[in-house]
């Protein structure tokens, strides 16, 4: 199988109050009260046409503080090692993140958002509208997460995936 390399262009930056992994919510759905902003670069402004009609957005971004991927990790919600593709851990072969956030308002090329689970200065790669009938699926199994998603409230990251870990 042929392997290919891809280059992505950063289209903006995500602004949050989080400056380190330790203490950052581990999932956007666990951080509905955490607000932040997307600052889209001016050359992409035209792409925001009609975005205010959506309540939620997919943000696709780079885990810029991850320096090396791993194929096995101990994810935040467990103490047992799992394959990286069976987790949502950030230490991925391609450090790409995905979060569904709530769109609060649009002011020019600045989007005010809620549900942030990323570090301040995170490079934004793409924005897509969240559409429940297209994006939500019924599931009959969720692997090892089955017994781990009973944590109340917000779960915060520790520093297990920092550049030293």
pLDDT of residue 52: 98
Q: Could you give the C-alpha distances from 155 to 35, 101, 132, in angstroms and in order?
A: 16, 17, 24
For 11-52, what is each residue's pLDDT tens digit?
999 999 988 887 667 666 767 788 999 999 999 999 999 999
When the candidates are 2.40.30.70, 3.20.20.70, 2.40.110.10, 3.40.50.1400, the CATH number that belongs to 12-132 is 2.40.30.70
Q: Three-state DSSP class for 18? A: coil
CA distance 129 to 97: 16
End-to-end CA distance of the chain: 31
**What residue spans define the domains of the chain?**
12-132
CA distance 100 to 110: 17
For 110-133, what is each residue's pLDDT tens digit?
999 999 989 999 999 999 999 998
Q: Supply the pTM of this predicted model.
A: 0.84
For 47-100, what is each residue's pLDDT tens digit?
999 999 999 999 999 988 888 888 999 887 788 999 999 988 888 999 999 999
pLDDT of residue 153: 57
The answer to whether residues 40 and 135 touch, using CB atoms and an 8 Å cutoff, is no
CA distance 145 to 96: 21
């Amino acid at each position: 199988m042929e392997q290919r390399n891809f280059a992505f262009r950063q289209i903006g930056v995500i602004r949050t109050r989080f400056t380190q992994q330790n203490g950052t919510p581990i999932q956007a759905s666990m951080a509905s009260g955490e607000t932040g902003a997307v600052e889209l670069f001016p050359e992409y402004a035209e792409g925001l046409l009609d975005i205010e009609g959506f309540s939620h957005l997919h943000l696709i971004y780079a885990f810029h503080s991850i320096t090396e991927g791993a194929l096995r990790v101990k994810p935040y919600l467990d103490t047992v090692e799992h394959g990286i593709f069976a987790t949502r851990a950030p230490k991925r072969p391609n450090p790409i993140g995905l979060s569904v956030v709530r769109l609060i308002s649009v002011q020019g090329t600045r989007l005010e958002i809620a549900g942030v689970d990323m570090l301040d200065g995170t490079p934004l790669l793409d924005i897509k509208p969240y559409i429940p009938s297209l994006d939500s699926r019924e599931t009959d199994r969720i692997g090892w997460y089955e017994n781990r998603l009973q944590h109340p409230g917000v779960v915060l990251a520790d520093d297990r995936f920092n550049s030293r870990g």
